[in-house]
Amino acid sequence: MLKSLRQTAISAANTPVFGSLLRTLEKVNVTSPCDLAVVTYHRVDEADRTPLLYPGLISATPHQFAEQLDMLSSVANVVSMQQVLAACRGEHELPVKSVLITFDDACTDFADFAWPALQARDMPVTVFVPTAYPDQPERRFWWDRLYAAIWNFRSSHVDTPIGRLPLGSDQQRSRVFRELRDYVKELPHDCATEVIDKIVDQQQSPVPPRSVLCWDRLRALANQGVTLAPHTQTHPLLTRVPIAQARQEVVGSRDDVQREIGSVLPVFAYPGGQCNAAVKQMMQQEGFELAFTVQRGINHLPSADWLSLNRINVGQQTTSQILKAQLVAGWWKNRMKNGRAGSVTHPQKD
């Protein structure tokens, strides 16, 4: 039922009538220099190019991504992470309708498809890097390992902690992958890793291709203007590990970027968008000024929690018109809630 309603809403959002309404709403200046929308992507690619990688992490095809960038250039002001930090520090205001573009995981297709499109439009971008993955060819993201295993099992079933699950059809394999994905996300990190290892080891599954950029390519991107920032080292959900381990992941990732790139901003993206009060307290203690979740919404900086900032997570069904609708709706919502006045005040540190 919910899936059907969602599909109906998506279809309606792509109609000419809805587009006309959007154009009317976007012409009304409801935004404030204190409003910041953050749009986030994972992968920009065609699914058939990398059949062993989990296709659910593809945010857009190269064509869709180009359309979205053209839409952003027409309705918003794309800003850099440096501009956002300066605004939060009270050094200057952001332009109205500010949008920050971010990428999580530093996947190889960013360099192949996303960056050329951004560079052609002179748009700044920040890429959050899980720093234990570059130059470590044996490392693979758990979701890619699980996907490759489930879709290439020669057996008609797989033994798992949630039972013996059938793999007789593509539909069953898709369902099993989703069930296991959701199950392991709720486990402590070490237990989740053990579950994935046991499933993969049941049969000799093909190894997914390396999906994270190497440090040489990341350095080249940084030299071309891409901002690189920490995203932990091994990509655990920080709410699923002890706080001491979370601290090690966060600080280690920041130190890795500093060592490999030569500089690092005090910004961070939480894996899976997951954080809690203990994690945010640790982030503040370690000197981070901004940290990003995947909670949907547009940030009103004077009242926002800067260590738990919202981002609009772009998915495969996010057309440029749907993305525009999310931005316009967020701007109107902030106007109704906060008005257009306001100033950014840097929070006092403990």
Q: Dihedral angle at the C-alpha atoms of 73, 317, 177, 153, nearest 10 degrees?
A: -90
pLDDT given for residue 205 in this prediction = 80
What CATH number is attached to the domain comprising 225? 3.20.20.370
Of 153, 179, 201, the last residue of a domain is 201
Q: Quick one: average pLDDT of 1-25?
A: 49
Q: Are residues 81 and 128 in the same domain?
A: yes
Model confidence over 198-253: pLDDT tens digits?
999 987 888 899 999 999 999 999 999 999 999 999 999 999 999 999 999 999 99
- Helix (H) or strand (E) holding 159, with range, is strand 157-160
Q: Could you tell me whether strands 98-104 and 35-41 are parallel, antiparallel, or unpaired per DSSP bridges?
A: parallel
Determine phi and psi for 163, rounding to 5 degrees.
Answer: 120, 175
Q: Are 113 and 66 in contact (CB under 8 A)?
A: no
3-class DSSP assignment, residue 109: helix
If one compares 8 and 274, the residue with the highest pLDDT of the two is 274
Domain that residue 247 falls in: 28-134+211-338
Radius of gyration of the chain (CA): 21
117, 166: one domain: no
148-166 pLDDT per residue, tens? 999 999 889 999 999 999 9
Q: Is residue 15 part of a domain?
A: no
Q: How many domains does the chain have?
A: 2
Verify that 180 and 62 share a domain, yes or no: no
Give the number of other CB atoms < 10 A from CB of residue 266.
15
pTM: 0.89
C-alpha to C-alpha distance for 122 and 116, rounded to whole angstroms: 10
Residue 348 lies in a domain: no
- The predicted pLDDT at position 253 comes to 99
**Contact between residue 337 and residue 300 where contact means Cβ atoms under 8 Å apart:** yes
